[in-house]
Amino acid sequence: MIDFDNELNEAQREAVTTTEGPVLVIAGAGSGKTRTIVYRLAHLVNQGVDPAQILLLTFTRKASQEMLARAESILGRSLHTASGGTFHSFSYATLRMNSADIGFDNGFTLMDRADSENICKDVRDEMGLGKGDRSYPKKATLLDMITKSRNKELPIDAIMEREAYHLSPYLEDMLKISDGYAQFKREHALVDYDDLLFLLDKLLATNEPLRNQLQARYRYIMVDEYQDTNLVQARIVKHLAGTRGNVMAVGDDAQSIYAFRGANVANILEFPKIFEGTKIVRLEKNYRSVQPILDLTNEILKGATTKFDKHLYSDLKSDTLPQVVHPLSDQTQARLVVDQILELGRRYMLHDVAVLFRAGYQSFPLEVALTRIGIDYQKFGGIRFHEAAHVKDVLSYIRLVLNPHDLLAWQRAMEHIKGVGPKTVAKIYRAMHSGLENDKKYMAKMLKKHEPLQELLAELNRLRSTVQKPSAVLEAVLAFYQPILIEKYPDDYPKRQAGLEQLSQIAVGYTEMEQFIGDLSLDGDPEDEKRKENAVVLSTVHSAKGLEWSAVIIIDLVEDRFPSRKAMQRAEDLEEERRLMYVACTRAKRELKLFVPGSVYNRASGMSDPTLPSPFVLELPDSVFERLNESYGGGLEQRRRAYEPPAPVLARNEDEGPSPEPAAPKADPSKLGFCKHKIFGRGKIIAQLESNKFRVNFPGFGLKVIIGDYLELL
């Protein structure tokens, strides 16, 4: 007998025991979603349902196997006749048994990703496209555009406009390659992973006898992570269940964060409309986080425009509120985060502490800071700083400014030059350093033959001849490298550019080149796929979904970073960013810290630009968090007053703009002249407005109205 009373809460019991008709389980973060599915499996069999009549669809094979195994443990019997697996595995098995009905009389062959990429390349070559064009999209990018178009069911030009505008010159070619790819598969009885879903959808839509047969066989259907389904997967579920079938979809609309893969949040939002008489069960009791963290996440969800209402609650109590930390800038943010990690390390093992961010490049300054003081870390999502090819490229130039005898750096710096391979690099290296007459002639020949080599040597000589700060050297290197970046990485150079902006931000904190390159060249242990013991976790929010830590720090909570710049342009994208924020905050079990830097370094101006805090932070009532501001001494000071945006937000043109902390000495109302502000830098006092307010012109920022307490006279 299954002990529902002790093993399940009231909402979970309702979901488990409601077995007839369509059921939608809205499972809030940490609410025991998997337990609910497992107990429902066990309950169905315990009620006399033949396991062969159960179909469990998940997004990973491991998830379905784990759920079935746990249900077997509860029942004490095997469920090997139950069907459990991914949408793709179910589609493959069904299509294999009905291959003639989809036009493959002699069967078909399923291709893997590498096969599909190679066919794209063969089709491109067969059409004679991209010959001699080194910037032509790689085969992986060609396939990505095709598969995104299919999964989102949008034309390639729409995908390109939203996600890869820099590839628009190749649109016509991509359309031809897409058609050629589809034709090649048909002619050779080949099927890719996307085809599995679309072929099954078409088969079920047109073959009524088969559809009826499958509906009769699978009387009970359960779908996990329904918020992550795409349009074709939702249609398959409808074909299998009918509009009144015994289908249970489990998911959380607030955790739908994979639109870039084709997931469509409308599937779960419109489930009750698609399946008549749907019973909605909300799992709102959270078993992961303390109540103060849930109070904050509930506030985040309040701002969503389209949603299933839910209110997470917990029996886990805490007297500590989540913290919203305001560093003066992104340049001080990394140091403050390291301080927080060290403090949290006194209470938790480091692998139970995570720093989350919107995009992989945002952790670069933190990676350098952690490596410098010897704190081990493991990164998930994005590329580790030291593994990023474009970062290695730039560092090779800087290494050559310091050390012309660095052969490895020469090899990397020259690898983009056409016709210069490793052997030629070795010859050039020897010729540059030998001083022999024959080598001088060889160098002259190489310089005449390879203009890019001539440009490289001239730039390195120029940089060596002047003593400059690391930031200035890097600025020159980046200007030199920009056309190389575009040519070498044509598929994704805009994304890589963002990482190089972070490199510029790191450089500002250094005065010596040797120290700068030394810190950047230090590397930790190689990445392990398994979780490391006592290593702090750095992760993108997407990679953190489904995981949890005792303490979570979220960084760069400002506009253009979280939410991302692209997301600010479309309402539906901004909604997904809100869900991403919810996912990030609900990873925390006991402590949550949100970092909102007051300014961000701008490489173009060489100054720090004021930021707008993330709207998800601005919306929070002051009752759900404790605010901490970075003081001019570098520490954190508590602010108990109601929430106020940091200084750079208020300090707009002709608006009042108090800074977070005063600087000394105060501006004297009787004197006008030059002054200095912690965020805006050096400025000219134009006028005194009131006894302690001044209009100041800051180069690069324009006119600001500032309280005199926050100005230092020069």
On whether 36 is known to bind a ligand per the annotation, the reply is no
Known binder of ligand: residue 495? no
Strands (E), 150-301: 190-191, 220-223, 246-251, 279-283
Q: Is 11 annotated as a binding residue?
A: no
Tokens of 562: 């979280």
Contacts of 409 (CB under 8 A, 6+ apart): 395, 396, 397, 399, 400, 403
18 and 28 in contact (C-beta within 8 Å)?
no
Q: Are 276 and 22 in contact (CB under 8 A)?
A: yes
The three state secondary structure string of 483-541 is: HHHHHHCCCCHHHHHHHHHHHHHHHCCCCCHHHHHHHHHCCCCCCCCCCCCCCEEEEEH
User: Is cis: bond before 563, omega within 30 of 0?
Assistant: yes
Distance separating alpha carbons of residues 551 and 590, to the nearest angstrom: 6
Q: 34 a known binding residue?
A: yes
Asked whether the beta carbons of 393 and 488 are under 8 A apart, the reply is yes
Q: Is the dihedral of CA 534, 538, 544, 550 positive or negative?
A: positive
* CB count in 10 Å sphere of residue 525: 10
Q: Which amino acid is at 188?
A: H
CA dist 645 and 391 (Å) reads 34
The whole-angstrom separation of Cα 291 and Cα 317 is 6
Question: Whole-angstrom Cα distance, residue 353 to residue 344?
Answer: 7
Taking the C-alpha atoms of residue 7 and residue 12, their distance in angstroms, rounded to an integer, is: 9
CA 555 to chain centre: 13
Which residue, among 316, 297, 256, has the nearest Cα to 552 in the 3D structure?
297
534 phi and psi angles, rounded to 5 deg: 55, 40
Determine phi and psi for 631, rounding to 5 degrees: -85, 170
Q: How many CB atoms lie within 10 A of CB 78?
A: 10
Residue 31 marked in a binding site: yes
- Is 138 annotated among the ligand-binding residues? no
Residue 248 CA to residue 250 CA, distance in Å, equals 6
Q: Dihedral, CA atoms, 667, 671, 672, 676, nearest 10 degrees?
A: -30
Does 30 count as an annotated binding residue?
yes
Q: Is 682 helix (H, G, I), strand (E, B) or coil?
A: strand
Distances (CA, A) of 672 to 48, 299, 657, 687, 696: 88, 46, 18, 7, 10
Q: Which residues contact 505 (CB under 8 A, 6 or more apart)?
A: 330, 331, 365, 600, 601, 603
CA distance 527 to 378: 7
Cβ neighbours for 578, distance < 8 A, ≥ 6 positions apart: 300, 301, 303, 304, 563, 616
Place of tokens 């490229």: 393
29 is in an annotated binding site: yes
Which of helix, strand or coil describes residue 303?
A: coil
Quick check: 559 and 610 in contact, CB under 8 A?
Answer: no
Work out the angle at residue 62's Cα, subtended by the Cα atoms of residues 60 and 68, and round it to the nearest 5 degrees.
110
* d(C-alpha 61, C-alpha 87), whole Å: 10
Closest CA to 251 of 231, 226, 275: 226
Q: In degrees rounded to 5, what are phi and psi of residue 83?
A: -95, 120
**Residues at the annotated binding site?**
27-34
**Residues at the annotated binding site for ATP?**
27-34
